[in-house]
Amino acid sequence: MIKNLFNLKKVKIWVIGVMIFYILLSYELCYFLRFAKSETQSHYLYFYAVFSQLFIYAFLYKALRDIKVYLFIFIIGVLHLYLFFILKENASLIGLKNNTIISLRNTIILLIIFKVLQFVSIKTQNQELVSIGRNNKDVYGTRNVTRVDYILEIIYITVTFILLIK
């Protein structure tokens, strides 16, 4: 039986906590970019964008099955894209390198890729997409991972870093 790509379930409290933390971290990023030295800005911006994009797949893969969570993260992606265009135009003024700023544009692309990979997982193995954890289980330890799961996760991580190339 093919599962839906989007579900409507009650959002778990820890997911709400992660979303609130993400908002606060994003606000902190804007504040930090305004007052920090340019070399520190670049490192912080790069870490913020890439870490959040990898974190989304690694730990929020179950939550992203819910349309509300997916839309919330997609809105964050739109804000990343908006910030990308603002910083790209003013990069030389504030001393940021363009390759650092590029990481912000990738959030929406990676969310779409996540859904494509989820669809591939459902079609090929009739199971939801999972993130690989320890002992050949997913991160939450609820099911055994397959070769397809490994391949799909490698594809996501590879695309994440390929998109960082200018």
Q: Is residue 156 part of a domain?
A: yes
The span from the CA of 62 to the CA of 88, in Å, is: 33
Q: Is residue 67 part of a domain?
A: yes
- Is the pTM value of this prediction over 0.85? no
Q: Is residue 109 part of a domain?
A: yes
Residue that wins the pLDDT comparison between 96 and 75:
75
Residue 67 has pLDDT above 70, yes or no: yes
Residue 71 has pLDDT above 80, yes or no: yes
Q: Is residue 5 part of a domain?
A: no
Q: Is residue 1 part of a domain?
A: no
Assign residue 12 a region (left: φ > 0; alpha: ψ between -120 and 50; beta: otherwise): beta
Q: Is residue 3 part of a domain?
A: no
pLDDT in tens, 77-129: 998 898 888 877 766 545 555 567 788 889 999 999 999 999 999 999 988 88
Q: What is the pLDDT of residue 88?
A: 78
By residue range, what is the domain housing residue 129? Answer: 13-162
Output b/e per residue, 109-139; b: 16+ Cβ within 10 A.
ebbebbbebbeebbeeeebbbbbbeeeeebb
Q: Is residue 43 part of a domain?
A: yes
Q: What is the pLDDT of residue 110?
A: 93
Domains in the chain: how many in total?
Answer: 1
Residue 43 has pLDDT above 60, yes or no: yes
Residue that wins the pLDDT comparison between 43 and 77:
77
Q: Is residue 4 part of a domain?
A: no
